Amino acid sequence: MRTAYSVETVRAAERELMARLPEGALMQRAAAGLAAVCAGLLGRVYGARVVLLVGPGDNGGDALYAGARLARRGAGVTAVPVDPERVHEGGLRALLAAGGRLAGAVPGRADLVVDGLVGIGGRGGLRPAAAALVERIPAGAPVVAVDLPSGVDADTGEVAGAAVHADVTVTFGAYKPGLLIDPGASRTGALRLVDIGLSLPDPDAEALQHADVAELLPAPAAESDKYRRGVVGVLAGSAQYPGAAVLAVAGALRGGAGAVRYVGPAADAVLARYPETLIGRGRVQAWVVGPGLGEGRAAEVAEALADPVPVLVDADGLRGLDPQVLRARPAETLLTPHAGEAAALLGTSREAVEAARLSSVRTLAARYGATALLKGSTTLVAHPAGGPVRVNPTGTAWLATAGSGDVLSGLAGSLLASGLAAVDAASVAAYVHGLAGRRAAAGAPLHAQQIAQFLPEAWRDIREEARYGTGRGGHRA
């Protein structure tokens, strides 16, 4: 599992470690790791042109010490400070002693640019002087960010104004939430973690990987039958949106439960596509409520919420939800809104939710007393009692297509019916759904039925790669 920690937590761990180390040792560890990544990207270090964009703090010091290591290996290293009067003294001495140089402007050509402008304590986007340097990065030059891309909020991923777009981010000691959560995550490029020996408590965010998901995926035992494996009820679809019912059932059938029971007006469409579906009300172990319901179905939503089993609420089912009703339920509730639906539930704008996805999903879960899955470019899952927010690492932009969320709801509901806790059902569903989307798209447009069709392949990939630890399962998340 990939874990991420707040700035406050990382700073406390750094202080504790620095108290036990010689002065400057921690920065040297960071610089060594940074220089190694840069050398790997360059391939041939001797003669390479490296430009350091240097801020006044320790982030700039890391860049300067790493630059000194590259200069000693024959690279031509040029440091360009934001403020020539405020440069890390030790780092600058090391760079000049190694043959590097200081410049007042960004060179027109570079084989590598190192972003050491602002560290993890930065807030509010880049200041004008730093932004001006970023604008002058030579076209085509790969950019390596030191700890995180300058201008990205390390705790939230929020970006206020200008920010660096890195090709690689070398982060020290621990991942930070802003590296995993959009919009910041879209600016990090490939992530490289340098272990500097920090001792850390429980994380603020976490991202499952293949092995974690494989342990959570339900598997039938020898004595299992369809009822022991769980039955998921799907209340979805309408005369206007029958396809939503078909897609939600498709996701549910591939989600690990033993049977799917459909309730709604689209039974003919569902049976025509999936004749194994049970039709009509009956006992279920979980409900999926909302995809394609349309208006005027509040009584049906209320009836499902009154059933003392886990309930997933999506799409039209999210309208007019009463937090007190959800808090009083004896079983778990899982809400799966996109940003616009989350904005309506929180009484804010879609733009506000998109700009602050981490705080939005936490607030949503706490206010409604439900596990919240906030869909989007980075899908997040928050528990109502707090704890680490789950960040989904799989997916593709092609998943932004009609019906994709219906498949996800069915899949997550089936995992609920099979016995997973809501936070695990949501996290696993998002992971498998994202991986299936990658498989289905393969760099080209897809439609929602293809996502459902590729769910079994994604499921197998996860199990096989976790088992064999090789490339047999395809992508590593």
User: Which residues belong to the annotated binding site for K(+)?
Assistant: 59, 115, 150
Binding site residue list: 58-62, 115, 119-125, 147, 150, 244, 292, 338, 375-379, 405-406
Whether residue 183 has a cis bond before it, omega within 30° of 0? yes
User: How far is it, in rounded angstroms, from Cα 333 to Cα 398?
Assistant: 28
Which residues lie below 8 Å from residue 114, measured CB to CB, with a gap of 6+?
Answer: 34, 38, 50, 51, 52, 53, 63, 66, 67, 143, 144, 146
User: How far is it, in rounded angstroms, from Cα 65 to Cα 45?
Assistant: 16
Which residues lie below 8 Å from residue 206, measured CB to CB, with a gap of 6+?
Answer: 1, 2, 3, 4, 388, 389, 390, 391
Q: How long is the chain?
A: 477
User: How far is it, in rounded angstroms, from Cα 149 to Cα 155?
Assistant: 13
Q: Which long-range contacts (CB under 8 A, 24 or more apart) does 298-301 make?
A: 300/235, 300/263, 301/235
DSSP assignments along 327-389, one per residue: HH-SS-EEE---HHHHHHHHTS-HHHHHHTHHHHHHHHHHHHTSEEEE-SSS-EEE-TT--PE
Helix (H, G, I), strand (E, B) or coil at 440: helix
- What dihedral do alpha carbons 261, 264, 266, 271 form, nearest 10°? 20
Output the six-digit token pair for 438. Answer: 């990658």
- Cα angle 103-104-106, degrees, rounded to a multiple of 5: 80
User: How far is it, in rounded angstroms, from Cα 92 to Cα 22?
Assistant: 20
Binding site residue list for AMP: 375-379, 405
**CB-based contact 117:83 (threshold 8 Å):** no
Binding site residue list for (6S)-NADPHX: 58-62, 119-125, 147, 244, 292, 338, 406
Q: How far is CA 140 from CA 110, 112, 133, in A?
A: 9, 9, 15
Q: What is the β-pairing status of strands 231-235 and 286-289?
A: parallel
Q: What's the alpha-carbon Rg for the chain, to the nearest Å? A: 25
The 10 Å CB-count burial string (b at 16+, else e) for 384-403 is beebbbbbbbbbbebbebeb
